[in-house]
Amino acid sequence: MARENLTIRLAERPTDEIVPGTTFTAKREAAPSPDDLKDGEILVEVLYLSLDPSLRGQLNDRRSYVPPVQIGAVMNGASASRVLASKSKLVQPGEYVYAATGWQQYKILKAGTFEPASAYPGLQQPQDMLSAMGLTGVTAWYGVTQIGEPKAGETFVVSGAAGATGSVAGQIAKLKGARVVGIAGSDEKCKWLVDDLGFDAAVNYKAPDWRQKLKEATPNFIDVYYDNVGGEILDAALARAKEHARFVICGVISQYNSSSPAGIKNIHQVVTMRIKMQGFIIFDAQAQYAQARKELGTWLAEGKIKKNETIIKGGLEKAEQGLVDLFRGVNQGKLLVEVKNPSETPSKL
Amino acid sequence: MARENLTIRLAERPTDEIVPGTTFTAKREAAPSPDDLKDGEILVEVLYLSLDPSLRGQLNDRRSYVPPVQIGAVMNGASASRVLASKSKLVQPGEYVYAATGWQQYKILKAGTFEPASAYPGLQQPQDMLSAMGLTGVTAWYGVTQIGEPKAGETFVVSGAAGATGSVAGQIAKLKGARVVGIAGSDEKCKWLVDDLGFDAAVNYKAPDWRQKLKEATPNFIDVYYDNVGGEILDAALARAKEHARFVICGVISQYNSSSPAGIKNIHQVVTMRIKMQGFIIFDAQAQYAQARKELGTWLAEGKIKKNETIIKGGLEKAEQGLVDLFRGVNQGKLLVEVKNPSETPSKL
């Protein structure tokens, strides 16, 4: 019998939060075989799976930049994978690739649907393709350098500051000479941002006096606000905006799980303070991936930015709970599921 | 005894709506005399007073782009005035000027605080300095041509479409080849927008099915949204935004009177549709006033845009109720108070 491929599929669209055991269902099926490969294709095994806030939106059946996951289909997700067999000239067995494999152990990838690790100059570990040099790192690079453009001496505030994107965004802004203030969900995270990542200040939004603390941390108001969370934190940032502030709207994690989102009350500040608010999706900026990775790789190598990962062990079965926990803020830095440790022997299919 | 100058002064800051008889107080005092003029100064009498939504914000004691009006001070406001006496080389008695005279009949204006009518090429009547060629017209020009930049075939939606700025903004977008949809507060206004101003469609937001009507009027979604109102109309526009839509945030008239503004619930669309939302204040764009007036003057002269004014007769005493009514949408086009008809004999002070 062929080796089994564990897949996690969408069973039911959640209205609000993901319901473990109900939203997804596990299905074991025959793994693809090297004999099935056509020219240009490769067969991979997933090592690390990326858990991202944007995955929640793909569970909703509505107009968006990525088509919704269909009921019964394998859940979407990006991974760092190892090549088991190759009919591609680009990679050999044993090499690593980045691809949108989805939540499964094995997959045949067509030509043009994967990226060899060689596209990531300075890569140290396969999971770097998902974290600091991955899409979340590139997202931070793009939002800070191409939209927010903090200048030396300006005040840069980032929400979701301890997350995969926020932690990199704050470090890049610091490199650009800005005063950097992070907003995160625990005193421990705040301490980490200041002591380990070099932020100038950090505010725990779960503390009762967080609005006052944000005010104290931004005595010259906010020039650039990098938002990953939306909701009342965005509202508070609007209230602290300086004239001509740039608001980089990268995500609204506080609202993804809600069918009745919180209202933003300070939108009048967009006029009063002449704010430029710009939403973006990193897929629109593919032409700049190479530049972003090069700069990120250099900064990482020089120790100017630190990569940070929270890795969930235990295989693909942990992905569902991991995605739930992502919205509860369990992670510092990038949240990954270890589907298979790279040090283990490659599977034989 | 010197001739009297009627002034309308701020008596009490309103929490929500302006309270006639309470918010403002009338005070009669000695009018300034030509004998008081220093070199470069002029003495004017106000003919038309401009009523603008932004005046409401100046009654609040909070950080903004214009300092709040102080209790006891003459209310802020722009006017088209006639020169009664002049020690300026720029204007002669009998000529018209634009200036921020505030709510009073007579005022001495220092050098540099007034604009001669000659700065408005193609001016037909003094009140044109307040309406189509005035700041509201220039605001429409700036928001449409410098921020929204509608292209031929794109869908352009404007709220407060029957107002001073909205009615001009929609006409300019039409000139640029866009499909133009107005949102206004009565069937009569909607009919006027389509029949007289040439809008492609108009939606009465007071009709119970207005959201459905907006959907029907924007089958290809919204490329450019020019917002004058905020609140639930902005929310509805967010829901109908196309990818890479531009949201020109010019004003939030629905919220100015409220101490507890309505929340914007669809802010996630800023990310999903990669919206650029840009607030602006026309005072930042003074370098472009001349260009704007030239283009507006040409379009007016060629009949390509129509000017529209609602003029309140009865003098300065009507300004307070006029400002209240502005927020109730009594006007089609620019709302003005006629303090003195230009055909009357100039006052002798």
Q: Which residues of A touch B (CB under 8 A)?
A: 57, 63-65, 230, 234, 243, 249-252, 255-256, 260-281, 284
Q: Distance (Å, rounded) from C-alpha B65 to C-alpha B281?
A: 8
pLDDT at B260 over 90: no
- C-alpha distances (whole Å) from B181 to each of A249, B170, B199, B201 are 27, 8, 6, 5
Q: Which residue ranges make up each domain of chain B?
A: 4-131+308-338, 135-283
SS3 A294: helix
A271 closest CB neighbour out of B250, B261, B267? B250
Q: Distance (Å, rounded) from C-alpha B323 to C-alpha A96?
A: 68
Q: Distance (Å, rounded) from C-alpha B32 to C-alpha B44?
A: 10
Instruction: List A157's β-bridge partners, or say none.
Output: A181, A225
Q: Which residues of B touch A (CB under 8 A)?
A: 57, 63-65, 230, 234, 243, 249-252, 255-256, 260-281, 284
Nearest CA in chain B to A239: B63
Give the count of Cβ contacts less than 8 A between chain A and B.
114
pLDDT at A17 over 70: yes
pLDDT digits (tens, 9 = 90+) for B167-221: 999 999 999 999 999 999 999 999 999 999 999 999 999 999 999 999 999 999 9
Nearest by Cα to A337 from A346, A345, A320, A328: A320
List strands edge to edge, sheet with A276-279: A201-204, A179-184, A155-159, A222-227, A241-249, A276-279, B276-279, B241-249, B222-227, B155-159, B179-184, B201-204
Read off the tokens for A67: 């088509």
Q: Distance (Å, rounded) from C-alpha B205 to C-alpha B232?
A: 10
Residue A93 — pLDDT band, cuts 50, 70, 90? very high
Contact A262 B261 (CB under 8 A): no
Min Cα–Cα distance to chain A from B283, Å = 11
Residues of chain B with Cβ-Cβ distance to A234 below 8 Å are: 267
Q: Distance (Å, rounded) from C-alpha B122 to C-alpha B297?
A: 5
Mutation pick from B272, B283, B284, B286 vs chain A, by most beta carbons of A within 10 Å, is B272
pLDDT at B210: 97
Q: Distance (Å, rounded) from C-alpha A52 to C-alpha B260?
A: 34
Mutation pick from A54, A264, A266, A286 vs chain B, by most beta carbons of B within 10 Å, is A264
pLDDT at A260 over 90: no
Pairing type for strands B114-116 and B96-99 reads antiparallel
pLDDT at A279 over 50: yes
pLDDT at B148: 98
Nearest by Cα to B310 from B337, B339, B335: B335
pLDDT digits (tens, 9 = 90+) for A22-42: 999 999 999 999 999 999 999
Amino acid at A204: N
- Report how far Cα B201 is from the mean position of its chain's Cα atoms: 23
Min Cα–Cα distance to chain A from B102, Å = 21
Q: Distance (Å, rounded) from C-alpha A177 to C-alpha A200?
A: 11
- C-alpha distances (whole Å) from B238 to each of B85, B297, B298 are 52, 33, 34
Min Cα–Cα distance to chain B from A253, Å = 9
Residues of chain B with Cβ-Cβ distance to A271 below 8 Å are: 249-252, 279-281
Q: Distance (Å, rounded) from C-alpha B292 to C-alpha A255?
A: 41
* Segment A264-287 mean pLDDT: 95
Q: Distance (Å, rounded) from C-alpha B256 to C-alpha A268?
A: 8
- Report how far Cα B192 is from the mean position of its chain's Cα atoms: 19
B261 closest CB neighbour out of A243, A268, A270? A268
B268 closest CB neighbour out of A261, A268, A280? A261
Task: Decide yes or no: CATH 3.40.50.720 for domain B135-283.
Answer: yes
Contact A251 B271 (CB under 8 A): yes
Min Cα–Cα distance to chain B from A211, Å = 17
The average confidence (pLDDT) of chain A is 94
pLDDT digits (tens, 9 = 90+) for A98-107: 999 999 999 9
pLDDT at A2 over 70: no
Nearest by Cα to A193 from A229, A217, A220: A217
A279 closest CB neighbour out of B63, B234, B274? B274
Q: Which residues, at least 6 apart from B155, have a Cβ–Cβ distance to it below 8 Å?
A: B178, B179, B181, B218, B220, B221, B222, B223, B224, B242
Q: Distance (Å, rounded) from C-alpha A206 to C-alpha A184?
A: 8
pLDDT at B58 over 70: yes
Contact A263 B268 (CB under 8 A): no
Residues of chain A with Cβ-Cβ distance to B284 below 8 Å are: 274
CB A86 within 8 A of CB A349: no
The average confidence (pLDDT) of chain B is 94
Min Cα–Cα distance to chain B from A42, Å = 32
Pairing type for strands B42-50 and B334-338 reads antiparallel
Q: CA A9, A12, A16, A21: dihedral to nearest 10 degrees?
A: -60
Read off the tokens for B263: 């929340």
Residue A256 — pLDDT band, cuts 50, 70, 90? confident
pLDDT digits (tens, 9 = 90+) for A195-233: 999 999 999 999 999 999 999 999 999 999 999 999 999
Residues of chain A with Cβ-Cβ distance to B270 below 8 Å are: 249, 277-279
Residue B2 — pLDDT band, cuts 50, 70, 90? low
Read off the tokens for B128: 């044109």
DSSP letters for A118-185: GGSTT--SGGGGTTTTSHHHHHHHHIIIIII---TT-EEEEESTTBHHHHHHHHHHHHTT-EEEEEES
Contact B249 A230 (CB under 8 A): no
Residue found under tokens 């909607």: B190
pLDDT digits (tens, 9 = 90+) for B285-301: 999 999 999 999 999 99
pLDDT at A124: 87
pLDDT at B6 over 70: yes
Q: Distance (Å, rounded) from C-alpha A184 to C-alpha A205?
A: 6
Q: Among the residues of A196-333, which ranges form H helices? A: 210-217, 231-239, 253-256, 268-272, 289-301, 319-327
pLDDT at B124: 87
Contact A284 B274 (CB under 8 A): yes
pLDDT at A1: 42
- Phi (first) and psi of residue A104, to 5 degrees: -155, 165
Q: Distance (Å, rounded) from C-alpha A83 to C-alpha A94?
A: 5
Min Cα–Cα distance to chain B from A347, Å = 39
CB B134 within 8 A of CB B304: no
pLDDT at B265 over 50: yes
Q: Which of A200-214, A250-264, A324-338, B2-16 has the lowest average pLDDT?
A: A250-264
Residues of chain B with Cβ-Cβ distance to A63 below 8 Å are: 272
- C-alpha distances (whole Å) from A256 to each of A74, A117, A310, B268, B336 are 20, 31, 21, 8, 46
B281 closest CB neighbour out of A274, A277, A281? A274
CB A73 within 8 A of CB A7: no
Residue found under tokens 């564990």: A6
The CATH homologous superfamily for domain A4-131+308-338 is: Medium-chain alcohol dehydrogenases, catalytic domain (3.90.180.10)
pLDDT at A253: 80
Question: How many CB atoms are located within 10 Å of the residue B195 CB?
Answer: 10
Contact A267 B249 (CB under 8 A): yes
pLDDT at B186: 97
DSSP 8-state class, residue A188? H
Q: Which of A13-22, A143-152, B36-45 has the lowest average pLDDT?
A: A13-22
Residues of chain B with Cβ-Cβ distance to A65 below 8 Å are: 243, 272-274
Contact B65 A276 (CB under 8 A): no
Contact B64 A272 (CB under 8 A): yes
Contact A277 B278 (CB under 8 A): yes
B251 closest CB neighbour out of A251, A271, A279? A271
Read off the tokens for B188: 């009569």
pLDDT at B311 over 90: yes
Residue found under tokens 């608001």: A247
pLDDT at A261: 75
Read off the tokens for B287: 């370098």
Min Cα–Cα distance to chain B from A231, Å = 9
A267 closest CB neighbour out of B252, B278, B284? B252
DSSP 8-state class, residue B145? I
Q: Distance (Å, rounded) from C-alpha A219 to C-alpha A214?
A: 9
Contact B275 A271 (CB under 8 A): no
pLDDT at B1: 42
Q: CA A327, A332, A337, A340: dihedral to nearest 10 degrees?
A: 180
Residues of chain A with Cβ-Cβ distance to B277 below 8 Å are: 270, 275-279
Min Cα–Cα distance to chain A from B268, Å = 6
Residues of chain A with Cβ-Cβ distance to B234 below 8 Å are: 267
